[in-house]
Amino acid sequence: MVDFDERTVDSALTSLKAAGLVRFVYPSHGRSVTRYEQLLGEQLAIGTDQLALVGVLMLRGPQTAGELRLRTERMSEFSGIADVELQLRTLSQLPEPVVALLARRPGQKEERWVELLSGTPSSAAGHVEPLSSVTTGHAEQVGALRHGPSAPAPSGPSAMSAMSAMSDLSAMSDLSAQVSALRAELAEVRSELERLRREFGEQREREEA
């Protein structure tokens, strides 16, 4: 759950654009606000379903395949948990792996998956190939936006424990994401309504003149 002011958001978007991870879509065809399109899928050459999994893993930390299926349902439709696991294993077997399977911890009934764009966790099960300089560069850019240019991305057992704790707050985070999306849509509707009011007022003045 975050609370960013407009300046912070603009700065982050500008940095992402410079890194080739965001495209600005300027107003056209009656639209009055600038939109933004992510390019991470193009950079990593992965599909929409896989991108949804990576995005939720980056947002919420390590999760089971069942949790990922539930939390990506607004972005992609999977036929079942087996389909989710298939996509995850595909991502883990790329020449530059994007996700990895974590070793099961005591008390855990299911294995959890973790994204690798922020670094390779020491608890990943099996062998994970090192990330290339391109992917590492993406991780550094994301880390710089989160923690500042000089602060390293969190790693190690304490960071992984914190990420696991965050994943337990699923209901609250999902609700927050829905509220944020509704607020953004409401702001756009208000902006469009204001534009229409101005145009109607100008047209009425011309007719009266």
Q: What is the dihedral of CA 122, 156, 21, 87, to 10 degrees?
A: 40
Q: By mean pLDDT, which of 34-38, 73-77, 105-109 is the weakest?
A: 105-109
Residue-range domain boundaries for the chain: 47-130+160-168, 170-209
Read off the pLDDT of residues 94-152 as tens digits, 9 standing for 90 and up. 999 999 999 888 888 899 999 998 876 766 654 444 333 334 444 444 444 444 444 44
Average pLDDT along the chain: 77
**Is the pLDDT higher at 13 or at 192?**
13
For residue range 194-209, list pLDDT tens digits in order.
888 888 888 888 888 7
CATH number for the domain whose boundaries are 47-130+160-168: 1.10.10.10
Torsion of CA 53, 112, 98, 39, to 10 degrees: 20
Which residues is 99 bridged to in the sheet? 115
Q: Which residues is 102 bridged to in the sheet?
A: 124
Distance separating alpha carbons of residues 21 and 41, to the nearest angstrom: 9
Q: Is the pLDDT of residue 178 over 70?
A: no
Whole-number pLDDT of residue 106: 86
